Amino acid sequence: MEDNKSSRNKRRCSFCGRSENEVGFLITGINGCICDSCAEQAHEIVQEALSQKGRAAGELKLAELPKPKDIKAFLDQYVIGQDDAKRYLSVAVYNHYKRLLQTKDDSDVEIEKSNIIMVGSTGTGKTLLARTIAKLLHVPFTIVDATVLTEAGYVGEDIESILTRLLQVADYNVAEAERGIVFIDEIDKIARKGDNPSITRDVSGEGVQQGLLKLLEGSVVNVPPQGGRKHPDQKMIPVNTKNILFICGGAFDGIERKIAQRLNTNVVGYNAAKEQVKIDRSNLMQYIAPQDLKSFGLIPEIIGRLPVLTYLNPLDRTALRNILTEPKNSIIRQYVKLFEMDGVKLEFEPEVFDYIVDKAVEYKLGARGLRSIVETIITDTMFEIPSRNVDRFVVTLDYAKEQMGKANLSRLQMA
């Protein structure tokens, strides 16, 4: 009876309930105790919570920030070429960090954000640049597609859904989301549908551009937490977009004609007397100017809120060849890894790479076309190999041509 009484009177950990005989030692407080094991776990939890809070509060130091050259070097590992676009992106992201670290002082100089617009034909790497830079960042980052956006009240997504995605990435931490970066893809798809403004209701073109103005400039926007349509009974989350950096990208298919027209108009007056600068007709995108975006269908107010304009060069044969094999995440390395997981060593004859590049140039799909061509060549192999007892497979030029021929023939038969 006395033993039972003494066991009941033994001190116990208030967290796990174990007695002092079952643990290393107990730390006694006013109304309870904690054992050494629970104290260690509590310490780990506190450290993790503080580190997350530090990241959310942006406790970064200028010395710790990745410098523009470091950001570009990181991009170089994954994206071939496009040095101009990389430099613009690297500087913009670095300045965005510095803007977040700016403290109020007597100078009253407030650094404004410089939203970016990247122009380049399909498959040149606009979205890849955005996805790659997201791996390096210490701020929330999201990629949204402008093609689904419409004015409020119409079928599609409201403009505020852009910020819903950012909130989700930031685990609904509003303070953290308000320091984030948003990449708006396919920005050219919301160009004005007609030359004359607002003749008809342009709900997915000019209407969306008008709605984007308040987001790009910086204002408090009421965001539906789960996305979708706004309705009166829904609880909204106010988000201030003043410190959110917007990067826009688009193919602007056909804008070369606008650039060519502008370059050919300067044939009279003072400029005509100057020595004519030789124009590279094979890459007119490098001469892009804000007025070309206006001619394409972006309203002047949007262009003014995207002050940094950069371009991506069209990919030549050498760039396509390098994209196929060189980056850390190259297409060929991905397929080699897939086969490696089945215990098979996949190899390509060098001539196959040149053949793939030839087809990509023929189809005019840029880097995006490389994957579809490689997929076409080795789909049958990927179907057969897992069931066969082989440890090595070599893709020859004859095999690649045979597979492409079969694919083209089947498409003709389907047509």
Q: What is the DSSP letter of 191?
A: S
Q: What is the pLDDT of residue 60?
A: 59
What kind of architecture, by CATH, is found in domain 62-267+277-311?
3-Layer(aba) Sandwich (3.40)
Q: Where are the alpha helices (DSSP H) in 266-349?
A: 270-273, 290-296, 300-304, 317-325, 331-340
Instruction: Provide the CB-side half-sphere exposure for 37 (13 A, CA).
Output: 12
Q: What is the pLDDT of residue 413?
A: 44
Question: What are residue 183's DSSP bridge partners?
Answer: 143, 247
Q: What is the pLDDT of residue 228?
A: 55
Q: Within the chain, how many helices (H) and strands (E) appear? A: 17, 11
The two tokens of residue 91 are 């500087």
Q: What is the pLDDT of residue 414?
A: 42
Q: What is the DSSP letter of 385?
A: G
The total number of residues written for the chain in this structure: 415
- Identical fold between 62-267+277-311 and 317-414: no
Domain 317-414 coded CATH 1.10.8.60: yes
Low-confidence ranges of the chain (pLDDT < 50): 1-2, 5-7, 54-58, 198, 267-268, 272-275, 412-415
Q: What is the pLDDT of residue 276?
A: 55
Q: What is the pLDDT of residue 351?
A: 93
pTM of the prediction?
A: 0.72
The domain limits of the chain are 2-57, 62-267+277-311, 317-414
Q: What is the pLDDT of residue 332?
A: 94
d(CA 260, CA 103): 46
